[in-house]
Structures are given as structure tokens and as C-alpha cells.
């Protein structure tokens, strides 16, 4: 029991001054007699307790040596290692010991780097989100390239991290900067470097071709060196906080359109972080004069691969199927693709051209290829018409199901709907089919009426397939005297 200093003083006064016994003092002051004895020094000192050997004591050398080799080893893993060696203590016991003997981490000092004007550009990617595409979803990435001196940046959304995507982004970035810096600084992705051992690295040959055409030197960051590419990482954080925050990216086209407006109207006019009184736009204008000129003939950035046409006259690329004319079945063609277009060629002959689809397991078919294939087949016309409607109007299958339920003749319905397709086009017919299904209708007359209403609303002319000559028979026209009309009352 602990008492105040005043009580201890009163105990000494009553015992040494008044000569009161211990029991009387304890009763008068309301304290325990052991407290009085302790204050008066009457208690015999307790012998020191014999030190108890800790459970970790036999394992100290092993623990110290292991932590010296692996300073970041967690105590739970160390407990598993000790338990296999006969340790009987708990994880808490081991954790308390490890806290006192774990080597303190050493903090490395980094050198602040200041690249020369026009010398270096830093390149990196940032994962943004998953974006919905036909047939599934794809990862949406943000490519960022920053001029190290002026802090001017180029960024664009991409849907893949292949070397061809990197080549396209680098070419567009240099075109945006109106020149090429003398050095491109990368991290260590497989897209850039195929193998690396220490400072020796083997770069992707296509990337070497592009850098050679731009006269730019390729350089890789050292492992765990935050001072070497901090400028591009800082710009990625700037884009996350200033552009991506509270913004929904629904498509690459929409995202890039808004991003490039942001770069021109907000990112370029911002103040330079180290040059007071100057903006990034001012520094970029100065740095452009020090950049290398763009090559007159840049390296090709298209993905070029051989493909085999299957028996249905389709070529498979990036999980999607693209149509070709039927005469190329079982032949090997050359496919050249960028992020906008897919071209199929045989030698110097262009076989087919399609807009690139970023969906998954989609079928991209040109109407002329379908018509050429149907012309070669001598089978019933009804299935052909259904295939054509399915290719042009995605929701027509639901309309077929409704025709079957009400007992309609599918051949007649297909023929009448094909006439509407030829007359009004796929876009108007698809919208009319969706409206018919929404209203619970199935009659082709209602479908035709809706197509006509939409055509009039859009003021679209009705296409007339008339021959260029001879559609009107020759007739002799006898002229009349027009003055006789004035005499009539």
C-alpha cells in the first residue's frame, strides 16, 4: 500500500517522538501495520528472486543469426522454424524477444537527380480499372510519358500492354512533344526488357527498332531506386488526384478525348514545381528547341502476324473472328493491326479491312463477304435470310421466337423483314425491332410502320433502286398552245 508523504512523516513523529507502538500508530492513522513497518524500516529486505531462464534462451544464437540474415522475417515464421526445433513457447513470448533484438533497418540516402533540358523522358503505366467490352471486360491502363526537365506529360488510355501498344504510345508522345528526348527511361516490364542480369539487359527488338529510328537511348531503372523515375510516378499521382478522381471512364475514346482536353487546358498551364514564375507550357516551348527532330520514316508500329483462314471464311485474332471473302478459305494471309483497324492482305493485295474490336469472342463480318458466300451456296433461301437478319439486327432472334409462339410462317416473315432491311437499313430496322419487342407486338406491318415513322423523324430519303437509263419508255409529246388557257372562264 502506498501512502502520501504527509502520512509517512506523521508515522515517524508518532513512533520516534511519542514512542507509540506500531499497532497503535496503524490504528490511529488507519493504515496497515506493514505500511508502518515499511516506513520505519522494520521490514527485512526480501531476498532477490532467482532469475528464471526464459524459454527462448537456448535458441538465442539461432534467432540472432537468422534475423541477421533475414532482417524482415516475421516472428510468426520464426516461431514455425523454432517449433520444429523443439521450442515450447508461445508466439507472444517470441515476439517480445524479437522486438528487442531485431536489427534496425538502415535508411539509404538518395541523390537528387537533375536531367539536362531535352535529355530524358520517363515512361510508366498505371492500372485504372476494368472496363466493360462486348463479351466480357478488359483492364484499362494509363500510359504516361513525362519530359524530366519541363514536366510536360503525354498520357493516353490503352487496353493492352503489348509491345505494339507501347510503340504506338511512344510515337504519339513524341509527335505531341514535337521531338524526341535523347533518353527513354523505363522500369523493368517484360514488354521492354526480355532478360536482365545486373546492369546487362536485352531489350525487345521491336522497341530497339523504334528507338533507333528516333535516335533515343533506352535505359532501365535500377531496382528499388525511387529517385530515378520519381517524376513520372509523381505525374501518375497527379493524374489520379486531378483527373481520374470522381470520373467514370466508359470507353477508351471517351476517356482519351477528355484526357487530352485536360492536358491542354489544365496540365500545361500549371506552375512548374522547381522554376518559380514559369508554367509547364513555357518550359515545354523552351525544351522543344533541344529535342531531337522526329524521323522522316518512323518504324512500323502495327502488329503483323500470319493468320490462316478457316473453313467459314474467318480469321481469328485476339479472341475475335474477322471475315474475308470466301475465295480465301484455307489460305494464309498477313494480318496487320493497330488499335483502330485490322487489315488482311495477300502479298500487296488488300483482302479485307475491319474496325478493330476490343471485345472478346466477337464475330466481325462485312456484309459483302456474307453476300459473296451466300451466292456460292445452292441451298434454301430462308436460312440465308435469317443469317443475314441476325448479322444486321442483333435482337431479331427474340422476334423469331414470338413468331413461332403465335404460329406465323417464318419464311414469309423473313422475306418481309428482309425487304424492310433493304429499304430502311440495319440501324432503323434494329431500333424498330427493339420497339416492337418492347410493346409486345409481332406483326410485320407494325414493324414497317415504326420504320417509316423513324425515317420521317430523321428526314431520311427512301432509297430507290432505279436503272441508270431506260426506266421510262419513250413517248411523243404534242405541245399545246398555252394562250387558250387564258380564254377559259
**In the numeric block, which cell numbers belong to residue 206?**
521491336
| Residue 19 vs residues 14, 23, 35, 125, 239: alpha-carbon distances, Å | 6, 12, 17, 88, 85
Q: Does residue 170 or residue 99 have the better pLDDT?
A: 170
Per domain, the residue ranges of the chain are 5-40, 57-101, 120-288, 303-369, 379-489
Q: How confident is the model at residue 451 (pLDDT cuts 50, 70, 90)?
A: confident
Predicted local distance difference test score (pLDDT) of residue 452 = 86
**In the numeric block, which cell numbers belong to residue 152?**
510536360
How many whole angstroms separate alpha carbon 170 and alpha carbon 466? Answer: 51
Cβ atoms 345, 352 nearer than 8 A: no
pTM above 0.75, yes or no: no
Residues 36-84: pLDDT tens digits?
888 887 776 666 666 666 788 888 889 988 988 888 889 999 999 988 8
Predicted local distance difference test score (pLDDT) of residue 53 = 65
Q: What percent of the chain has pLDDT over 70?
A: 88
Cβ atoms 210, 192 nearer than 8 A: no
pLDDT exceeds cutoff 70 at 225: no
CATH of domain 120-288: 3.30.420.10
How many whole angstroms separate alpha carbon 235 and alpha carbon 242? Answer: 10
Amino acid at each position: 500500500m502506498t501512502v502520501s508523504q504527509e502520512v509517512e512523516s506523521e508515522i515517524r513523529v508518532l513512533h520516534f517522538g511519542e514512542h507509540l507502538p506500531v499497532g497503535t500508530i496503524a490504528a490511529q492513522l488507519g493504515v496497515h501495520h506493514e505500511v508502518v513497518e515499511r516506513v520505519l524500516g522494520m521490514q527485512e529486505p526480501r531476498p532477490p528472486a532467482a532469475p528464471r531462464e526464459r524459454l527462448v534462451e537456448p535458441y538465442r544464437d539461432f534467432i540472432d543469426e537468422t534475423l541477421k540474415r533475414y532482417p524482415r522475417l516475421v516472428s510468426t515464421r520464426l516461431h514455425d522454424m523454432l517449433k520444429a526445433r523443439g521450442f515450447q513457447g508461445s508466439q507472444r513470448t517470441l515476439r517480445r524477444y524479437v522486438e528487442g533484438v531485431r536489427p534496425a533497418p538502415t535508411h539509404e540516402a538518395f541523390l537528387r537527380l537533375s536531367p539536362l533540358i531535352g535529355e530524358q523522358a520517363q515512361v510508366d503505366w498505371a492500372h485504372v480499372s476494368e472496363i466493360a467490352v462486348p463479351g466480357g471486360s478488359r483492364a484499362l491502363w494509363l500510359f504516361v510519358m513525362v519530359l524530366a526537365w519541363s514536366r510536360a506529360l503525354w498520357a493516353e488510355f490503352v487496353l493492352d500492354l503489348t509491345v505494339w501498344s507501347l510503340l504506338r504510345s511512344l510515337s504519339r508522345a513524341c509527335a505531341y512533344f514535337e521531338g524526341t528526348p535523347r533518353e527513354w527511361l523505363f522500369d523493368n516490364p517484360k514488354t521492354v526488357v526480355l532478360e536482365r542480369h545486373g546492369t546487362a539487359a536485352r531489350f525487345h527488338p521491336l522497341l530497339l527498332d523504334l528507338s533507333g529510328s528516333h535516335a533515343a537511348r533506352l535505359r532501365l531503372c535500377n531496382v528499388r531506386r525511387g529517385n530515378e523515375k520519381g517524376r513520372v510516378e509523381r505525374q501518375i499521382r497527379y493524374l489520379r488526384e486531378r483527373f481520374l478522381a470522381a470520373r467514370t471512364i466508359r470507353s477508351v475514346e471517351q476517356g482519351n478525348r477528355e484526357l487530352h482536353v485536360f492536358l491542354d487546358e489544365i496540365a500545361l498551364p500549371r506552375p512548374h514545381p522547381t522554376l518559380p514564375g514559369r508554367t509547364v507550357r513555357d518550359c515545354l516551348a523552351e525544351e522543344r528547341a533541344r529535342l531531337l527532330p522526329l524521323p522522316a520514316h518512323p518504324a512500323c508500329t502495327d502488329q503483323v502476324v500470319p493468320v490462316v483462314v478457316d473453313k467459314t471464311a474467318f480469321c481469328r485474332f485476339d479472341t475475335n473472328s474477322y471475315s474475308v471473302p470466301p475465295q480465301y478459305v484455307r489460305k494464309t494471309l498477313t494480318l496487320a493491326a493497330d488499335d483502330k483497324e485490322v487489315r488482311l492482305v495477300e502479298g500487296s493485295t488488300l483482302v479485307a479491312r475491319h474496325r478493330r474490336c476490343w471485345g472478346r469472342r466477337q464475330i466481325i463480318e462485312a456484309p459483302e463477304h456474307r453476300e459473296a458466300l451466300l451466292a456460292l451456296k445452292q441451298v434454301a433461301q430462308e436460312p440465308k435470310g435469317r443469317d443475314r437478319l441476325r448479322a444486321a439486327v442483333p435482337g431479331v432472334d427474340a422476334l423469331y421466337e414470338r413468331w413461332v409462339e403465335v404460329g406465323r410462317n417464318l419464311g414469309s416473315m423473313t422475306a418481309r423483314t428482309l425487304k424492310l432491311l433493304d429499304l430502311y437499313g440495319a440501324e432503323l430496322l434494329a431500333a424498330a425491332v427493339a420497339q416492337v419487342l418492347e410493346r409486345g407486338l409481332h406483326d410485320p406491318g407494325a414493324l414497317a410502320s415504326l420504320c417509316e415513322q423513324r425515317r420521317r423523324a430523321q428526314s431520311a430519303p427512301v432509297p430507290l433502286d432505279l436503272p441508270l437509263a431506260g426506266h421510262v419508255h419513250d413517248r411523243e409529246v404534242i405541245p399545246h398552245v398555252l394562250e387558250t388557257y387564258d380564254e377559259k372562264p
